Amino acid sequence: MRTDMRQGPEIWIRGPVTSPEPGPAPASARTHAGARRFSWVGTHGGAGVSTLAEVYGGHDSGRAWPGAGGPPSVLLVARTHAAGLDAVAGAVEIFRHGQAPPGLDLGGVVLVADAPGRLPRPLAQRVKSLESAIDVYRVPWVPSWRLGELGNPPRETAALARLTGAAR
């Protein structure tokens, strides 16, 4: 048994808690009322960060934390395969334990389907566990994205589109 772990209840807030920035947002950040800009951060290679940034807008951070020029609100991105879910769970823990770079806030987790169809039960259970701790946005398999035909966000991602200001 580990004795170096913190004892007692842990209380943490689900979702981001930020103070509003003074003054109006720059025109480039105002896509519609209530939308804010995000930095897309991949938790593993091939997560789909560049595609999501193109379709939904925001800053493509690749697999790095956003720098001084990137929005401090982060959307962690992962595929729905086992390795992707492991990676994103670890990144959520970084935020949960206060180990993310200062000034960043976690806006949610975006899970991109790794294949068409339903998730196998063990993976679906892992997603459910994540959803109990943080806002999770699911992006379905989009065949046209493989061909570079990005277009509008899929209708199944309406909540993510509203969050990022990509709703049409």
Domain boundaries, the chain: 37-164
pLDDT: is 31 or 138 the higher one?
138
| Residue 53 in this model has a pLDDT that exceeds 90 | yes
Q: Give the pLDDT band of residue 14 (cuts 50, 70, 90).
A: low
As a whole-number percent, the residues of the chain with pLDDT over 70 amount to: 78
Of 10-14, 67-71, 98-102, least confident by mean pLDDT is 10-14
DSSP state of 156: G
Give the separation between CA 77 and CA 158, rounded to whole angstroms: 17
pTM beyond 0.95:
no
As a whole-number percent, the residues of the chain with pLDDT over 90 amount to: 71
Q: What residues contact 2, with CB distance under 8 A and at least 6 apart?
A: none
